């Protein structure tokens, strides 16, 4: 027997996010600027430059950032 998924209310901040928006976040004392590729419930997948990926120690030019940990460029 499966139970239906319970819908959570999105915060206005999360609801306003759009794919392609430019955001900034800090990881390992390095400010990173990237573009949102996918919006998830608690985070976003962001495309970053290879140089930023090397600076923060990730093997890919994509990373996951919590909604709590980034700011949107206006």
In a domain, 2, yes or no: no
Q: What is the pTM of this model?
A: 0.83
Q: How many domains does the chain have?
A: 1
Which tens digits make up the pLDDT trace of 25-73?
A: 999 999 999 999 999 989 999 999 999 999 999 999 999 999 999 999 8
Tell me the C-alpha distance between 23 and 33, whole Å: 6
User: What spatial distance separates the first Cα and last Cα of the chain, rounded to whole Å?
Assistant: 46
Domain residues for the domain of 62 are 17-72
In a domain, 5, yes or no: no
């Amino acid at each position: 027997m499966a139970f239906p998924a319970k819908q959570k209310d999105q915060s206005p901040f999360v609801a306003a996010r759009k794919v392609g928006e430019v955001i900034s976040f800090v990881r390992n004392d390095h400010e990173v600027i990237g573009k949102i590729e996918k919006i998830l419930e608690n985070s976003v997948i962001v495309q970053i430059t290879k140089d930023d990926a090397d600076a923060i120690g990730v093997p890919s030019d994509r990373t996951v950032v919590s909604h709590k940990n980034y700011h949107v460029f206006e």
